[in-house]
């Protein structure tokens, strides 16, 4: 049981990284977030967020996700991550702004 609890954060991180990779691919492909072709991504992601967080997949969860995306899309966050990487001698990670922007638009379009 303790091992399962210890693995939970790792599972969440791996899941979210995988979803981010999927969103990045969809956003870079140029799929319009308001089209029916894009509608499955927000539904799948909110369902996974609900599962990982133990919350119901409802309007409250989507509102919570939207608020977090708006904070994460702040250009200052990206600048902070870039500076942190520089301080630690690592290359700057790819910015999440295009992915978060696409997901935000798709989530809003999905209702």
pLDDT of 85: 93
pLDDT of 2: 47
pLDDT of 58: 93
Contact 65, 43 (CB under 8 A): no
Spatial separation of the C-alpha atoms in residues 23 and 59, rounded to whole Å: 21
- Give the three-state DSSP class for 39: coil
pTM over 0.75: no
pLDDT of 19: 67
- pLDDT tens digits, 49-73: 888 888 999 999 999 988 988 887 7
Contact 91, 64 (CB under 8 A): no
Spatial separation of the C-alpha atoms in residues 69 and 104, rounded to whole Å: 7
**Percent of the chain clearing pLDDT 90 (strictly above):** 14
pLDDT of 1: 46
């Amino acid at each position: 049981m303790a091992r399962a609890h210890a693995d939970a954060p790792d599972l969440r991180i791996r899941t979210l990284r995988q979803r981010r990779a999927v969103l990045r691919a969809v956003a870079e492909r140029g799929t319009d977030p308001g089209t029916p072709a894009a509608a499955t991504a927000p539904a799948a992601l909110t369902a996974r967020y609900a599962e990982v967080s133990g919350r119901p997949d409802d309007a409250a969860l989507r509102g919570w996700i939207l608020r977090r995306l708006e904070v994460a899309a702040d250009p200052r966050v990206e600048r902070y991550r870039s500076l942190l990487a520089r301080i630690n001698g690592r290359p700057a990670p790819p910015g999440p702004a295009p992915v978060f922007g696409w997901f935000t638009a798709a989530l809003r379009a999905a209702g």
